[in-house]
Amino acid sequence: NRQFWGFMWRRNALNSLVRLSPWRRRLCAAAELVRLNKRIADAGVCSRREADRLISEGLVSVEGLAPGQVTAGLKVGKQTEIRVQNKPLPHAAAPVVLAYNKPKHELVTTRDAHGRRTIFESLAAMNAPRGLKAVGRLDCSSEGVILLSTSGALARRLELPETGVPRTYRVRVHGNLTEEKLRALRTGTVVEGYKYAGMDVVVERNNRKKISWLQLTCFEGKNRMIRKICKTLHLDVTRLIRTGFGPIQINNKLREGVAMKVDVAALERQLQQYEALAAKRRMRKRYLGKVVRTKDDGYAPRDRRRETGTRGDDGRRRQRGADSAGEVGEGSLDRSSRFVKL
């Protein structure tokens, strides 16, 4: 017993020394370091690209460093004193998430070369916080809910298909909506070498060869995914409205052209539930789309069964029907041969 407790005491003392060692403290401090342009962007001063411009023009100074040592890739800590245009850089605030009901013909981009209106111009008129990043995109002709966050990590987590955030759409299509097409929407459709996963489909209105309204729910947001799938099924999408993104749904408070602040703590709890459900869907192999190869790409499916014969004295495999020393005559059947599953 004395030897055992002595060993435990020495092990605990060694672990304490490792935890308090200088190199361990340096590693822990290095884990909190971020790039200088990201630190400026997280503070809400400007975007990373604009921060790079300010750094290159010498308008950013860092405590204890000469002007020539300040670069965009410089790693700084949270407590490092930084000045931008002779003004102290504020500490990064808590992340903010906004839900915006995007009207039709607004672009999800910071600026447009053709002078078309963007969602950030509309948000700036509402005194929205700076440094917002869009969670995914919506086409110019699409409308509905889009989320924006000041935290790039949170925005990335929201848009990743692996997180499993459901996206709900109301779609108006023109064309003959048959049961076969509905089955293809529910089971999955191959478009340009990519098989999109099946969606939850609710038919709100079906006039067969005229106008139909569908409610589609999916867990991934590929570029123009719904429009491409409907075009493959010979259905013309004339209106597309995203009615929900996760727990955020269009309601009386979130009318067209209105932005609403989202509770980040409640959203984080909901994301954990979505990720748990996504893990279960991955176990059932019913989760996301995948890249497939077709005959148009020069791909021919391999035959899964191969006919083989017996082995001779030399160890070589003989084909069925081959004449070898009278064992298997021409046209005869070798009963020992069988199909081997590869």
Residues labelled as active-site residues: 139
As a whole number of angstroms, the distance between CA 319 and CA 308 comes to: 6
Tokens representing 148 are 């924006």
Can you give the length of the chain in residues? Answer: 342
Sign of the dihedral defined by the CA atoms of residues 42, 46, 48, 53, in that order: negative
As a whole number of angstroms, the distance between CA 162 and CA 7 comes to: 45
As a whole number of angstroms, the distance between CA 283 and CA 280 comes to: 5
Token pair 């001779």 in the structure block, residue: 312
Which amino acid would we find at residue 288? L
Closest among 173, 184, 244 to 214, alpha carbons compared: 173
As a whole number of angstroms, the distance between CA 177 and CA 207 comes to: 8
In the three-class reduction of DSSP (H, G, I as helix; E, B as strand; rest coil), residue 324 is classed as strand
As a whole number of angstroms, the distance between CA 77 and CA 296 comes to: 53
Token pair 């929900």 in the structure block, residue: 244
Gyration radius of the chain over CA positions = 31
Query: What stretches of 143-223 adopt beta strand conformation (E)?
Result: 143-149, 167-174, 188-191, 194-197, 200-206, 211-218
CB neighbours of residue 163 within 10 Å: 16
How deeply is 125 buried, as exposed, middle or buried, from its count of CB atoms within 10 A (0-12, 13-18, 19+)?
exposed
CB neighbours of residue 240 within 10 Å: 22
Largest CA distance in the chain: 98
